């Protein structure tokens, strides 16, 4: 138990470092993935993603706030012994895919709710509520549930 706790703490610290120093590079990779779907109107700048161009008003989203579930994932992963490479790769793929999807969701939620008149002209009330709820659920607990589920796939704990 103590050894697991120490491994968990070490993984947590590694996760914080990876999140802090890796976010700018990771943000560029995620922005490049999303860019084709936004007609080239997405770019990563430091810890944020800038969106805007010919057809979209400029805005920024705090990309680093969408990815810090990697801290919990690495902390949990550090406690797993005898990892299967296949399950590990699948878990990482799901985690990265969730970052891509929820970065896109956060961009749409920002346009739907935070640009005043522009938002009201382009999204109806139901759409605004939907995108806000999806974004809110991810940020509030969903991102950690995804990290937990990814760890669960790798660790296969006894139930």
Q: Shortest distance, CB of residue 115 to another protein, whole angstroms? A: 21
Nearest 5°: phi and psi at 50? -95, 135
Q: What is the CA radius of gyration of the chain?
A: 18
- Cα three-residue angle 56-138-135, rounded to 5 degrees: 30
Q: Shortest distance, CB of residue 54 to another protein, whole angstroms? A: 32
Strand ranges in 3-158 using DSSP code E only, listed in sequence order: 42-45, 48-51, 59-61
118 or 148: CB nearest another protein? 148
Q: Shortest distance, CB of residue 55 to another protein, whole angstroms? A: 30
56 or 101: CB nearest another protein? 101
Q: Which residues touch 147 (CB under 8 Å, ≥6 apart)?
A: 69, 70, 72, 73, 76, 95
Q: Shortest distance, CB of residue 117 to another protein, whole angstroms? A: 24
Q: Which residues bind another protein (CB under 8 A)?
A: 1, 5, 8, 12, 15-16, 19-20, 64-65, 68-69, 71-72, 75-76, 133, 136-137, 139-142, 144-145, 147-149, 152, 156-157, 159
């Amino acid at each position: 138990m103590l050894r697991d706790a120490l491994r968990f703490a070490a993984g947590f610290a590694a996760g914080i470092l990876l999140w802090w120093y890796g976010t700018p590079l990771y943000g560029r990779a995620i922005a490049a993935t999303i860019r084709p779907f936004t007609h080239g109107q997405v770019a990563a700048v430091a810890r944020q993603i800038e969106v805007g161009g010919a057809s979209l008003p400029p805005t920024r989203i705090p990309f680093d706030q969408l990815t810090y579930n990697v801290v919990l994932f690495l902390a949990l992963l550090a406690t797993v012994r005898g990892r299967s490479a296949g399950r590990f790769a699948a878990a990482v793929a799901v985690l990265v895919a969730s970052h891509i999807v929820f970065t896109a969701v956060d961009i749409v939620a920002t346009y739907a709710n935070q640009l005043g008149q522009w938002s009201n002209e382009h999204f109806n009330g139901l759409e605004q509520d939907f995108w806000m709820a999806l974004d809110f659920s991810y940020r509030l607990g969903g991102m950690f549930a995804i990290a937990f589920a990814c760890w669960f796939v790798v660790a296969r704990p006894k139930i």
